[in-house]
A and B are shown apart, each in its own frame.
Chain A
Amino acid sequence: MEPMDTQIGEMTSQDTQQESVSTPVATPTGRPERRKKPRIRETPPAPVPPPHLDEYKSIVGQPYIDELRYLADALKGKRVKMVNSTAVGGGVAEMLNQMVPLLNEVEVKTGWDVITGGNDFFEVTKAFHNALQGSDYKLSQQARDIFMMHNNLNRQRMEFNEDFIVIHDPQPAALIQSRQQPGQHWVWRCHIDLSNPNPEVWGFLQPFIEQYDAAIFSSQSFTRQLRIPQYLFYPCIDPLSEKNKELDDSFVQKVCDEFGVDRSRPIVTQVSRFDRAKDPVGVIQAFKQARKYVDCQLVMAGGGASDDPEGAAVLKEVNAAADDDPDIIILDLPPWCALEINALQRASTLVVQKSIREGFGLTVTEALWKGKPTIAGAVGGIPNQIIHKLTGVLVHSVDGCAYQIRYLLTHPEFAQRLGHNGREHVKENFLMTTNVRRWLLLFRILLGAQTS
């Protein structure tokens, strides 16, 4: 097969409208030939500017945008400061990059500050992060001192004059000690699962957390018993981002051609890092069981193998389990291949996320948003997204996953209904605009707006 003129990763949204449909090159067996090394961009593309609120109108409707503007009206002139521990990389920074401009657009003046700290601080907070999610850890006095020293240095460096201060995650939690102004509202936004924390670390942090006016969690099951009100803010996706926006079918075809995915046959896809928590080997086993009865291909698209030794080991296990099966397409993609991931999800007949441990599971949200019938492990935040047999199906084993692949591939009407419901569920609960509304509501409620 001749190389294509355009590298997949170089395509822009405009290109996707202009690309012509490529036809897969047929081999003597009738299958399209798989490229040995699909060409993808080696460096990240320039960041895309965040969308304006009105650009969401076609997705959520004018009444929804009007509601946001009405909620924001009562907050005009109020100021918000968001504080987290990193400006780039990770889901929190990504979310703030999108959320802060939208809040400013509705004239709720929102700033974003990032705490500083040395390697010692971030080693301690990394250990805290893992310990709060259940890892073994012995909290030393030295770790406490490092945590407090850097929080105090940041308190000296930063000013807290805003009406609302929102602190994200445990790293800057002790900044609450700078609370002075009467009438100021401090909110702790916890993005991690606190359902089974290391008691020493939680015991150290809890007194800080209970000085806030409210805490926010990503799932009911991630919470602790606290003396302050706790709110539920689901993580969200941006429907206009490269990962989730509508794509021209010619672009989807081009990506499939490049990666050797045959769109004339059913496609089962799992998108996730090569991580044992995502049970990629279990997915291959389930696929092989299902394929005894239904024709299909499996796409395993992920990353993390190049910069993470464990990821590389998992990828090796995945390749061994695939055993050169021509119907299993394993793609180790860099994190900036959002358009390609989007295209693969859109080309899929079914999406699987057979995690055995999970945070919220935004890859499930992405699949549901694309109207894909989705099979997922009943762990972490996934049951918030998948209502069994209504917005997708939940599974607990390899055998269960295999059965559901067979069932959904042979019952397309049911699968289509799940996909439709799944998309509506995301529209209702897990879009960026929903979270803008949640923030505006929370600020109004903290100000004492009339609620019933």
Chain B
Amino acid sequence: MTAAMAPTLTHTAVKPFYFNTSAHLMRITRQKATTLGEFLQALQECPENSIFQHTFRTLQEHHFIREGFSNDFAHWVLSACNEPGLAEALASVDVREFTSVADLRARFVEIVGNFLAPSPATAARGARETFYFCASDIVVIPTNFVAHSLREFAEGLRGVSVHSLHHHFIEARLRLKLMSNDFSQWLLEDLGLPDAARHLNRIDIYTATMENVRQQIIGIVERALV
């Protein structure tokens, strides 16, 4: 019998799930922007881990905000450039729709480029504050949690930090190059739980805090345990 045929709470997964987490150190890059024109240019030239820092990583840093913090680009365009339309367009970029940072960068460049094209004067107007492009240097860290079964998986989900959840649930798609996450992949491939895997992947990370996301994941896993 394979795990995919009849999973239960006591069944052993094909492969255990090792909970990891990641620690980030912020590096200040050479790019900065004092106008939207400079911002567009820096978006095109900055290193990929700078795009990562201001999207994936900032989402992790602000995991506790319920009010819809999306990415640093949108926040700066609103607060320093007073361009709510552009800010809204940038904020609506959902990192989960991207499996590569290059594609994510291209989307931001497209949005800002389209906004500035009809009104070049806007590109030169000074922002209230400078935008400094930063980048993340990341070290992956194992945790003490390993799951061989669905029950142990639920225990791990309760015990790890929100950063571990972010590592597996949000950043994972850049490693997997899939529109999925480590949890869903494990539930699907190693425990044969396609419904739970799909439900997990539908959790909205932008309208909930990371603690709330944790509770939603645990809820789905507990329902699968029954």
A231 with B27, Cβ < 8 A, contacts A63-B143, A66-B144, A390-B69 known: yes
The reply on A388 being an interface residue by CB < 8 A is yes
A-B contact count (CB 8 A): 86
The answer to whether B134 touches A441, judged by C-beta atoms less than 8 angstroms apart, is no
What 0/1 readout, one digit per residue, does chain B (44-87) give for beta carbons within 8 Å of chain A? Answer: 00000000000000000111111101000001000100000000
The answer to whether A421 touches B139, judged by C-beta atoms less than 8 angstroms apart, is no
Least Cβ–Cβ distance between A55 and chain B, in angstroms = 18
User: Whole-angstrom distance between the alpha carbons of A51 and B177 in the complex?
Assistant: 44
The reply on B130 being an interface residue by CB < 8 A is yes
Least Cβ–Cβ distance between B167 and chain A, in angstroms = 11
The reply on A70 being an interface residue by CB < 8 A is yes
User: Whole-angstrom distance between the alpha carbons of A63 and B143 in the complex?
Assistant: 7
The answer to whether A441 touches B28, judged by C-beta atoms less than 8 angstroms apart, is no
The reply on A29 being an interface residue by CB < 8 A is no
The reply on A313 being an interface residue by CB < 8 A is no
The answer to whether A231 touches B23, judged by C-beta atoms less than 8 angstroms apart, is no
The reply on B204 being an interface residue by CB < 8 A is no
Quick one: closest A residue to B132, CB to CB? A220
Contacts of A437 in B (CB 8 A): 23
A441 with B129, Cβ < 8 A, contacts A225-B30, A231-B27 known: no
The answer to whether B161 touches A63, judged by C-beta atoms less than 8 angstroms apart, is yes
The answer to whether A421 touches B65, judged by C-beta atoms less than 8 angstroms apart, is yes
The answer to whether B65 touches A428, judged by C-beta atoms less than 8 angstroms apart, is no
Contacts of B139 in A (CB 8 A): 71, 441, 444-445, 449-451
A67 with B161, Cβ < 8 A, contacts A388-B79, A450-B139, A451-B137 known: yes
Q: How many residues of A contact B (CB 8 A)?
A: 39
The answer to whether A70 touches B141, judged by C-beta atoms less than 8 angstroms apart, is yes
Contacts of B62 in A (CB 8 A): 387, 390, 425
The answer to whether B159 touches A232, judged by C-beta atoms less than 8 angstroms apart, is no
The reply on B26 being an interface residue by CB < 8 A is yes
The answer to whether A220 touches B28, judged by C-beta atoms less than 8 angstroms apart, is yes
What 0/1 readout, one digit per residue, does chain B (86-110) give for beta carbons within 8 Å of chain A? Answer: 0000000000000000000000000
The answer to whether A445 touches B25, judged by C-beta atoms less than 8 angstroms apart, is yes
The answer to whether A63 touches B159, judged by C-beta atoms less than 8 angstroms apart, is yes
A390 with B65, Cβ < 8 A, contacts A71-B139, A449-B139 known: yes
The reply on A359 being an interface residue by CB < 8 A is no
The reply on A125 being an interface residue by CB < 8 A is no
User: Whole-angstrom distance between the alpha carbons of A428 and B62 in the complex?
Assistant: 8
Question: A230 is contacted by which of B28, B63, B69, B138 (Cβ under 8 Å)?
Answer: B28
User: Whole-angstrom distance between the alpha carbons of A67 and B134 in the complex?
Assistant: 23
Which residues, 21 to 46 on B, are CB-close (under 8 Å) to A?
21, 23-28, 30
The answer to whether B61 touches A429, judged by C-beta atoms less than 8 angstroms apart, is yes
The answer to whether B27 touches A230, judged by C-beta atoms less than 8 angstroms apart, is yes
What 0/1 readout, one digit per residue, does chain B (139-169) give for beta carbons within 8 Å of chain A? Answer: 1111110000000000000011100100000
Question: B28 is contacted by which of A217, A383, A438, A450 (Cβ under 8 Å)?
Answer: A217
Least Cβ–Cβ distance between A434 and chain B, in angstroms = 10
The reply on A424 being an interface residue by CB < 8 A is yes
Which residues, 50 to 91 on A, are CB-close (under 8 Å) to B?
61, 63-64, 66-67, 70-71
The answer to whether A231 touches B26, judged by C-beta atoms less than 8 angstroms apart, is yes
User: Whole-angstrom distance between the alpha carbons of A231 and B53 in the complex?
Assistant: 13
What 0/1 readout, one digit per residue, does chain B (152-190) give for beta carbons within 8 Å of chain A? Answer: 000000011100100000000000000000000000000
The answer to whether A231 touches B141, judged by C-beta atoms less than 8 angstroms apart, is no
Quick one: closest A residue to B174, CB to CB? A452
Contacts of B67 in A (CB 8 A): 390, 417
The reply on A229 being an interface residue by CB < 8 A is yes
A421 with B161, Cβ < 8 A, contacts A70-B142, A441-B139, A444-B139 known: no
User: Whole-angstrom distance between the alpha carbons of A223 and B129 in the complex?
Assistant: 14
Of B23, B62, B132, most buried by chain A (CB within 10 Å of CB) is B23
Contacts of A93 in B (CB 8 A): none
The answer to whether B134 touches A220, judged by C-beta atoms less than 8 angstroms apart, is yes
Least Cβ–Cβ distance between A68 and chain B, in angstroms = 9
A441 with B161, Cβ < 8 A, contacts A449-B139, A451-B139 known: no
The reply on A221 being an interface residue by CB < 8 A is yes
Given contacts A225-B30, A417-B67, A445-B25, 8 further A-B contacts (CB under 8 A): A66-B144, A67-B21, A70-B141, A71-B139, A221-B129, A232-B28, A428-B63, A437-B23
Q: List 8 tightest A-B contacts by C-beta distance, closest first.
A: A220-B132, A424-B64, A63-B161, A232-B26, A441-B25, A230-B28, A451-B137, A452-B138
- What are 17 A-B interface contacts by the 8 Å CB criterion? A66-B143, A67-B23, A70-B141, A70-B142, A71-B139, A223-B28, A232-B26, A387-B69, A388-B79, A390-B62, A390-B65, A429-B61, A437-B23, A441-B25, A442-B25, A445-B139, A451-B137
